[in-house]
Amino acid sequence: MSKRPPQAPRGRGARSNPDNRYEALSRVAVDDGWGGLEGETPPLRTTLGVDASRTVISYNQSPDVGFDRSINPYRGCEHGCVYCFARPTHAYLGLSPGLDFESRLFYKPEAAALLRQELAAPNYHCAPIAVGINTDAYQPVERRLKITRSVLEVLRDCGHPFTLITKSALVERDLDILSEMADKGLVQVMVSITTLRHELARTLEPRAAAPARRLDLIRNLSAAGVPAGVMVAPLIPVLSDSELEDILACAREAGARCAGYVLLRLPHEVKDLFREWLAEHAPTQAEHVMARIRDSRGGKDYAAEFGARMRGTGVYADLIAQRFRLARQRLGYGDPAPLRTGHFRPPRIATPQLDLF
């Protein structure tokens, strides 16, 4: 018997569905010689489950990000980006960071109600909330469920500032809310662009908006008065690092006001999933890609230390940082405008008790 090589379903980013790191046993498909594994893999359907979390705001103390709280309306992401740093979080659910992550999704139907309760707490201190950080708040299922929109409606009604990062054009559906809040200095939207090459994007992030469409998104947000920026993320050594200046230039021409970048991160199971992707889509460059990654991660596939995990270290990482700084300066990018907190008014929670006044 021989081990069966991973066979990716069409329209998905991961090639396989490895057991998560908490499983005591592992399973491997093998060819027993009877032809039972021959033929095309059947279509992989997306399933939805309910996330019954009792809170919706997550807090962090990371020095690597510019926020201390976030909201993720979904777990898992149908965009299927093979490089997604959030894939390992599906292991907490007893599922695979591979195909499970992009096909077995969970949504928070009570997100808006939970948010109202948390914002109404007497000890709540207002600060910008980042929406859709772990997984994209505007992935395809949002078109039907509208969980993210319900969250934005609460933030709008309370005058609460927030930021968004997405690679989906679906955010344009909510321009009415975003434009209203932009007038008060309450919102910033970052659009993530990995590459400008359509063919590369189609395999790296198969169900996300095409690169040209994301540039249109920046253009449309800017035209609506919504402050928009570009996040070159992730910057992939060898495959897309040469595009850094071109992405920044195109986004600036489209109206992006600020910019950032993140060097490819490969925590836990992501490193093996990415290697499988390289073996299929970039076999002649695979070793060069991984060598550059190790150059910027202290000789390892990934280093999780604060202060280095987003940008890497070493000569290669320093060169990327210098190129980004010079391009940002030459193109006239600025810093994100600080969001205002003075408009915040806690929501009123309906109770059977009458007001004293």
Report yes or no: 260 and 229 within 8 Å, Cβ to Cβ.
Answer: yes
Cα separation, 163 vs 181, in Å, equals 11
Report yes or no: 160 and 346 within 8 Å, Cβ to Cβ.
Answer: no
Report yes or no: 165 and 262 within 8 Å, Cβ to Cβ.
Answer: no
Mean pLDDT over the full length of the chain? 91
In a domain, 90, yes or no: yes
Kindly give, in sequence order, each residue whose CB lies less than 8 Å from that of residue 201, ignoring residues fewer than 6 positions away.
194, 195, 208, 210, 211
Q: Which of 85, 79, 87, 86 minimizes the C-alpha distance to 16?
A: 87
Report yes or no: 249 and 206 within 8 Å, Cβ to Cβ.
Answer: no
Average pLDDT score over residue span 124-141: 96
List the structure tokens of 20: 């998560």
The C-alpha angle with vertex 171 and arms to 54 and 104, in degrees rounded to 5, equals 50
- 104-107 and 74-75 strand pairing: antiparallel
SS3 of residue 330 by DSSP: helix
Say what percent of the chain tops pLDDT 90. 81
In a domain, 282, yes or no: no
User: What pLDDT, on a 0 to 100 scale, did the predictor assign at position 21?
Assistant: 80
Kindly give, in sequence order, each residue whose CB lies less than 8 Å from that of residue 122, ignoring residues fewer than 6 positions away.
none
Query: 66-91: string of b/e by CB count within 10 Å (b at 16+)?
Result: eeebbbbbbbbbbbbbbbbbbbbbbb
Report yes or no: 41 and 103 within 8 Å, Cβ to Cβ.
Answer: no
pLDDT over threshold 60, residue 267: yes
Cα separation, 307 vs 63, in Å, equals 7
SS3 of residue 187 by DSSP: strand
List the structure tokens of 22: 């908490």
Identify the band that residue 2 occupies on the pLDDT scale cut at 50, 70 and 90: very low
Q: Which of 266, 251, 200 minimizes the C-alpha distance to 221?
A: 251
Could you read off the pLDDT of 210-230 as tens digits, one per residue? 999 999 999 999 999 999 999
User: Could you tell me the residue range of the domain that residue 149 belongs to?
Assistant: 13-19+46-262
In a domain, 54, yes or no: yes
Cα separation, 152 vs 174, in Å, equals 9
Helix axes 244-254, 314-331, angle to 10 degrees: 30
The C-alpha angle with vertex 164 and arms to 240 and 310, in degrees rounded to 5, equals 45
In a domain, 257, yes or no: yes
Identify the band that residue 1 occupies on the pLDDT scale cut at 50, 70 and 90: very low
Could you read off the pLDDT of 75-131 as tens digits, one per residue? 999 999 999 999 999 999 999 999 999 999 999 999 999 999 999 999 999 999 999
In a domain, 329, yes or no: no
**44 HSE (CA, 13 A, CB side):** 22
CA 188 to each of CA 137, 181, 327: distance values in angstroms, whole numbers, following the listed order: 15, 9, 22
In a domain, 121, yes or no: yes
In a domain, 146, yes or no: yes
CATH number, domain of 195, equals 3.20.20.70
Helix axes 211-223, 244-254, angle to 10 degrees: 30
User: What pLDDT, on a 0 to 100 scale, did the predictor assign at position 32?
Assistant: 59
Residue type, 183: D
User: What pLDDT, on a 0 to 100 scale, did the predictor assign at position 3?
Assistant: 44
Could you read off the pLDDT of 165-184 as tens digits, one per residue? 999 999 999 999 999 999 99
Could you read off the pLDDT of 182-195 as tens digits, one per residue? 999 999 999 999 99
Secondary structure element (H or E) that encloses residue 190, with its range: strand 187-192
Could you read off the pLDDT of 297-355 as tens digits, one per residue? 999 999 988 888 899 999 999 999 999 999 999 999 999 989 999 999 999 876 655 55
- 30-31 and 2-3 strand pairing: antiparallel
Tally of domains within the chain: 1
In a domain, 40, yes or no: no
DSSP letter for 62, please.
-
| Integer-rounded Cα radius of gyration of the chain | 21
Report yes or no: 340 and 184 within 8 Å, Cβ to Cβ.
Answer: yes
